[in-house]
Amino acid sequence: MDIQDERRRLLDAEGTDEYETVTGVRSEQDIYLDKVQNGKLYLAVFVSVLGPLSFGFVLGYSSPAIPDLITTNDDRVRLNDDQASWFGSIVTLGAAVGGLLGGWLVERIGRKLSLMFCSLPFVFGFAIITAAQNLWMLYVGRALTGLASGVTSLVVPVYISEIAHERVRGTMGSCVQLMVVTGICGAYVAGTYLGWRWLALCCSLPPTLLIVGMCFMPETPRYLLSQGKRREAEEALRFLRGPDAPVQWECARIEEACDHQGAGFKVSDLLEPCVYKPLAIGVLLMFFQQATGINAIMFYAENIFEDAHFDNRALGTVIVGLTQVFFTGIAALIMDRAGRKVLLCISGVAMTISAAVFGVFFHLTTGQHNNTSVRAMASGVEGSLGAGPEVDLAWLALASMGIFIAGFALGWGPIPWLVMSEIFPSNVKGFASAVCVLTNWGNAFIITKCFQDLLALLTNAGTFWLFSSMCAINVVFTIAFVPETKGKTLEQIQDNFRGTPAQFHS
Ligand code: BGC
């Protein structure tokens, strides 16, 4: 009996008696997925995305906390501009290191334990900030929460892609970014009511819930099978797919793919097209995500609102946060229907145009504010884009910023993380994802730190035109190189890179 017959027998054994529909032959996959119930899968995704929610809180924390720490009466923890800039950006350095640690952890202790582990530096980091008596405690707290964010940004997409099935994987995977932006927005909102110490305490709630909730969630079936634990893998699948699904069928399918992929990562694997091709795509997606300048533009947000005569800067940042949440939610809903490539292209075009218009805004208003506001904007601490005649054009800045942020949320925000979790063979997943996460956070650090120099070198307009050109390159790169992963199993995606015909269809 060949392998196809064996798998079909597993479906039949569970009472499947029809392969034909009115429209033609149904694939084994469809027959299997029709029997799946998703309730527990959604629960596991919900618990795991408390990780990205925590990491959103880390990213959002500095925006309300910095002005508070600059004006605090307690001179042991009062920040100057330079210290404030480190307080904001040290998180990205910690996260870059966290990416490396995460890549090692997911292979050593598995996906579930890595997720539980990353709650610890979140909670300790926020506890140290809450109790801070000097600047070093603030920096250490930020670096620890950054480290946890790096581990989370690697482990959660991997966990979700390995427990979800192809009908909902795009939507489930997009929940990672949805929770990141919800966390950012949550920190902005909570920051309007709470001082920096109470805010840090509040930020430690989601990671605490994560560690407790994960105790009740399963390890991923793929990881268990890669460890030769077939019985545990079937149990995990039974939990995730409900009582009616013939989980042995899915187990057989994953096992077969594991056999193809071999065990453990070896440097010689890098010569295989099914490794170097997805690795190059993953790294470039991460590089390009940061090259859009998203973090610099989010940094600008408060100044732009101020320029548009929004007296309440905090309200301005909350509006930015809500825009991100709204459009990331839309992306999550349509991801499995629209596909990754289309959304990346729409997102890239929207960002190319809006960043170019942003540049035009600066070009038209140059000379009136260039020298006075550059440093203030880059430090993100104080200052406005200027006052006077250019105020009339503030709507242009507001509109282009809104379109840029919405565009990012629709594609370039969630999709690099989603695609990273889909394209690597199991045996190189830890290593390859770590390289991607390192590229993303390393680049985020460089861009936020060099932003000030870029403004000085290229002028404000030139810097935004540079971001706009990067977004245009993103679109070309997407069309030429990014594979469409919508509706495919992880095994089919890897078969495509290997150049072998996709298996497991009908
Ligand atoms: C990016 C971060 C960014 C965040 C907020 C993430 O996908 O990797 O750099 O700050 O989205 O939009």
* Three-state DSSP string of 267-322: HHHHHCHHHHHHHHHHHHHHHHHHHCCHHHHHHHHHHHHHHCCCCCHHHHHHHHHH
Strands 20-21 and 24-25 turn out to be antiparallel
Q: Is 498 exposed, middle or buried (0-12, 13-18, 19+ CB in 10 A)?
A: middle
40 vs 271 pLDDT, higher one: 40
pLDDT in tens, 223-254: 999 888 999 999 999 999 999 899 898 998 88
Q: Locate tokens 């013939």: which residue?
A: 246
91 lines ligand 1 (CB under 6 A): no
Give the ranges where 27-168 is alpha helix by DSSP (H): 28-34, 39-48, 50-71, 81-108, 110-130, 135-163
48 lines ligand 1 (CB under 6 A): no
- Please tell me whether residue 20 adopts helix, strand or coil conformation: strand
59 lines ligand 1 (CB under 6 A): yes
Q: What does pTM read for this prediction?
A: 0.85
pLDDT in tens, 414-434: 999 999 999 998 888 889 999
Which residue's CA lies nearest to atom 7 of ligand 1? 413
pLDDT confidence band for 316 (50 / 70 / 90): confident
* Residue in 294, 351, 419 to alter for ligand 1 test, most ligand atoms within 8 A of Cβ: 294
405 lines ligand 1 (CB under 6 A): no
Distance 16 CA to ligand 1 centre (A): 45
Ramachandran category for residue 2: left, alpha or beta (phi over 0 → left; psi -120 to 50 → alpha): beta
pLDDT of residue 164: 94
What average pLDDT does the segment 464-481 reach?
96
447 lines ligand 1 (CB under 6 A): no
Q: Is 489 exposed, middle or buried (0-12, 13-18, 19+ CB in 10 A)?
A: buried
How far apart, in whole angstroms, are the C-alpha atoms of residue 245 and residue 38?
11
Distance 131 CA to ligand 1 centre (A): 28
Mean pLDDT of the chain, nearest integer: 86
* 8 Å CB contact between 34 and 269: no
pLDDT of residue 498: 81
How far apart, in whole angstroms, are the C-alpha atoms of residue 90 and residue 77?
16
Read out DSSP for 221-283?
HHHHHHTT-HHHHHHHHHHHH-TTS-HHHHHHHHHHHHHHH-SS--GGGGGSHHHHHHHHHHH
How far apart, in whole angstroms, are the C-alpha atoms of residue 247 and residue 242?
9
Beta bridge partners, 24, equal: 21
440 lines ligand 1 (CB under 6 A): yes
Read out DSSP for 393-452?
GHHHHHHHHHHHHHHHHHTTTTHHHHHHHHHS-GGGHHHHHHHHHHHHHHHHHHHHHHHH
325 lines ligand 1 (CB under 6 A): no
Question: H/E/C letters for each residue in 123-155?
Answer: HHHHHHHHCCCCHHHHHHHHHHHHHHHHHHHHH
pLDDT of residue 18: 44
174 lines ligand 1 (CB under 6 A): no
Q: What are 242's two structure tokens? A: 């409900």
How far apart, in whole angstroms, are the C-alpha atoms of residue 237 and residue 221?
6
Closest to 51 measured CA to CA, from 158, 176, 142? 176
pLDDT confidence band for 257 (50 / 70 / 90): confident
How far apart, in whole angstroms, are the C-alpha atoms of residue 416 and residue 45?
18
Among 50-54, 118-122, 309-313, 354-358, whose mean pLDDT is lowest? Answer: 309-313
245 lines ligand 1 (CB under 6 A): no
pLDDT in tens, 169-223: 999 999 999 999 999 999 989 998 999 999 999 999 999 999 999 999 999 999 9
222 vs 305 pLDDT, higher one: 222
pLDDT of residue 145: 97
Closest atom, ligand 1, to C-alpha of 324: 12
